[in-house]
Amino acid sequence: MEAAKDNPQLKRFIFVGSQTAVGPSINGTPVDDGNSLPPDNYYGKSKMEAEKEVFKFKDVIPIQSFDCL
C-alpha cells in the first residue's frame, strides 16, 4: 500500500475480497455487516486483516473493492 501510495501514475488500486473475511453464515442466512461472525480459518483472518490495511488508505489512493462470492 505504501508503494501504491507513492506511485503518481496510479489510477486505481483494485482489491479482491472474499466472503470468508466476514466469517461463516448463521443457519444459512446471508452474511452482512450486521450479522457477521469472525472468520473461522487462517485464510479468512488474513483476508480480513488485508481489508483493514487496504482501507486505511481509502482517503489517499483510489480504491476499488470487489468481493468474490
Domain residue limits, the chain: 2-68
Q: Does residue 4 have a pLDDT over 70?
A: yes
Question: Contact 21/44 with Cβ under 8 angstroms?
Answer: yes
Side chain identity, residue 13? F
Its sign, for the CA torsion 65, 50, 11, 61, is positive
The grid coordinates of residue 10 equal 496510479
What region does 35 belong to: left with phi over 0, alpha with psi -120 to 50, or beta? alpha
Task: Tell me the pLDDT tens digit for each residue of 7-58.
Answer: 989 888 888 888 888 888 778 777 766 667 788 899 999 998 998 898 899 8
> To 5 degrees, how large is the angle CA 69–CA 39–CA 49?
90
Q: Does residue 68 have a pLDDT over 60?
A: no
